[in-house]
Amino acid sequence: MMGRGRLEIKRIENPTQRQSTFYKRRDGLFKKARELAVLCDADLLLLLFSSSGKLYHYHSPSVSNVQELLRRYEVASQTRILKDQNGGENVEEVERMCEILEREIRFMRIDEGEEYTLPVLQVIEQNLEVAMKKVREEKDRKIQAEMETLHRMVKDRQLDGCGLCEKQSPTPLLLGEQPLFGYELDLKLGFD
C-alpha cells in the first residue's frame, strides 16, 4: 500500500490551486477544531482570514460568545486585545455577524434525526433556491465567457490559416475569384 508523498510547504503560485487548497485545508482545520472541542471538552476560538480578507471563524459550543473567550485569553496571557470600548463593540459586531452566518448555515443543513416543521422546511427550500439561482447565474456567466474565448481562438486560428495559405499560394488570385482555403479550413475545424 502506498502512502502519500510529502508535500513541500511553500506558497502555491497557481491562484486556482491556491484557492482550492485553502478551502480544503480550511474545512479540515475547522473539522479538527470541532473534534477537539467535543472530544476534549475544550473551549476554543478559531479565527481565519483568507487572502482576500474574508473572515471564517469557529468557537466551541460551550463558549457563550467570542468576547468571553477573548477576555479569558487576556487574563491568561496578560495581553490586552480589547483596549477600548470601540474594540469591544467591534468584537460584538463580528460575533453578531458570525452568529447570523452560523444560523444561516444551520438552515441550509438537514439533520436526519431532527423533526422540521413545514414553515422551517419552506425557509430552507427558499434559501436553497436562492443559492442555486446564484450558482446557475455564475455558471452561465463562466460558460458564456469561455465560449467567447473559444470563438476568438477559432477566429484567430482561421485568420492565421488564411495568412499561411496566402503565403504558400504560388499564383495570386484573379479579381473576383474566391479562395478555396477558407472552406477547407472550416472543414478541418468541424464547421459547415
Tell me the per-residue pLDDT of 141-154, one tens digit each, with 9 for 90 and over.
889 999 999 999 99
pLDDT for res 182: 47
Tell me which DSSP letter residue 64 carries.
S
**Cα–Cα distance measured from residue 54 to residue 56, given in angstroms and rounded to the nearest whole number:** 7
Range list of H helices, 41-84: 66-77
User: ∠161-163-167 over CA atoms, to 5°?
Assistant: 115
- Sequential DSSP letters for 6-20: PPP-S---SHHHHHH
**Cα–Cα distance measured from residue 119 to residue 45, given in angstroms and rounded to the nearest whole number:** 33
Tell me the per-residue pLDDT of 112-152, one tens digit each, with 9 for 90 and over.
666 778 887 887 788 778 878 888 888 888 899 999 999 99
Global pTM reads: 0.41
Low-confidence stretches of the chain (pLDDT < 70) are: 1-4, 82-90, 103-114, 169-192
**What cell was used for 30?**
475547522
Which position has the grid cell 436562492? 130
User: ∠99-102-104 over CA atoms, to 5°?
Assistant: 110
